[in-house]
Copies of this chain bind each other. A is one copy, B any other.
Amino acid sequence: MTSTMGARERRRHEVTAALLAAARRELARTGAAGLSVRAVARDMGMAPSALFRYISGRDELLTLLIVDAYDDLGGHVEDIERTVPRADLRGRWRAIATSFRGWSVAHPHEYALLYGSPVPEYKAPAERTNPSGTRVTNLLAALGMEDPIAPPRAAIPHMPDADELKALAVAADVPRMDGERLVSGLLAWTALVGAVSSELFEQLGEPVARLDTLFDATVALGEWLLFGEPQEESAGSPA
């Protein structure tokens, strides 16, 4: 970062970067639970004990990988979401959802690390993972903040009443959003995570080709949850 950097310091940055790169390779190969410090050391041609000059242990390596994966995912989704015109709220949602799924199927082990079972004996430090971990949900929140549209969805019977939703809203740290909008966003989000998890973790016995249309249905459901019935606009083919 600083332009004046001693050779020593620069080398340290290089080694740190190589370490993280090797760890990423190892994670993509064997997954989080099978991640081995010694394998990382082998991959970069160093003794295992040498790595402990750069990381405090396996836990910090996991933390590094988590924020790295969160940032990779967040950047990917942000890049694609930025593509669609700001006024097209439904398109922005679809871009978020599909790019989220796209990154996930391309990086299944990273997805499992972020949204799958937590690694036992390890608790991610929230102060380090939070900024990167909320990037994609922040996109969703920004979508929910947009004023013009977003009709509330009272069409669903047996929904928790307005008071409870209000309590949900104040509990969350999104004070400017009312309960109906917040619960819509949360439902769309958890449905999205559930669809991707079910697909990647292979809880569905169906052939893969049909998973696409099932995911399309999930996206449509989320869109309806967020924005309701479309209001008399162009009805082109949504492909």
Binding site for B on A (CB under 8 A): 30-34, 90, 109, 112-113, 115-121, 126, 130, 155-160, 164-165, 167-168, 171-173, 183, 186-187, 189-195, 197-198, 201-207, 209-210, 213-214, 216-221, 223-225, 229-230, 238
Name 17 A/B residue pairs within 8 A (Cβ), A-sorted: A32-B117, A33-B119, A155-B155, A155-B224, A156-B220, A156-B221, A159-B220, A160-B213, A160-B220, A164-B216, A165-B213, A168-B210, A171-B207, A172-B210, A173-B205, A191-B195, A194-B195
Which residues of the partner chain B approach A157 to less than 8 Å between Cβ atoms?
Answer: 220, 223-224, 229-230
Question: Are B190 and A198 neighbours in the complex by a CB distance under 8 Å?
Answer: yes
CA distance A119 to B117 in the complex (A): 10
Which residues of the partner chain B approach A159 to less than 8 Å between Cβ atoms?
Answer: 216-217, 220
Which residues of the partner chain B approach A168 to less than 8 Å between Cβ atoms?
Answer: 206, 210, 213-214
Which residues of the partner chain B approach A165 to less than 8 Å between Cβ atoms?
Answer: 213, 217
Return the contact of A195 from the options B115, B117, B190, B224 (Cβ within 8 A): B190
Which residues of the partner chain B approach A116 to less than 8 Å between Cβ atoms?
Answer: 112, 116-117, 201
Question: Are B164 and A213 neighbours in the complex by a CB distance under 8 Å?
Answer: yes
Shortest A120–chain B CB gap in Å is 4
CA distance A108 to B120 in the complex (A): 12
Question: Are A214 and B186 neighbours in the complex by a CB distance under 8 Å?
Answer: yes
Which residues of the partner chain B approach A155 to less than 8 Å between Cβ atoms?
Answer: 155, 224, 229
Question: Are A201 and B171 neighbours in the complex by a CB distance under 8 Å?
Answer: no
Known interface pairs A112-B118, A159-B217, A171-B206; 11 further A-B residue pairs with C-beta atoms within 8 A, sorted by A's residue number = A118-B202, A155-B224, A156-B224, A160-B217, A171-B209, A183-B217, A190-B194, A190-B218, A191-B191, A194-B197, A197-B197
Which residues of the partner chain B approach A218 to less than 8 Å between Cβ atoms?
Answer: 187, 190
Q: A33-B33, A197-B193, A210-B171 are in contact. Are A216 and B115 (CB under 8 A)?
A: no
Question: Are B117 and A223 neighbours in the complex by a CB distance under 8 Å?
Answer: no
Which residues of the partner chain B approach A186 to less than 8 Å between Cβ atoms?
Answer: 204, 214, 217
Q: A117-B32, A117-B117, A158-B220 are in contact. Are A198 and B193 (CB under 8 A)?
A: yes
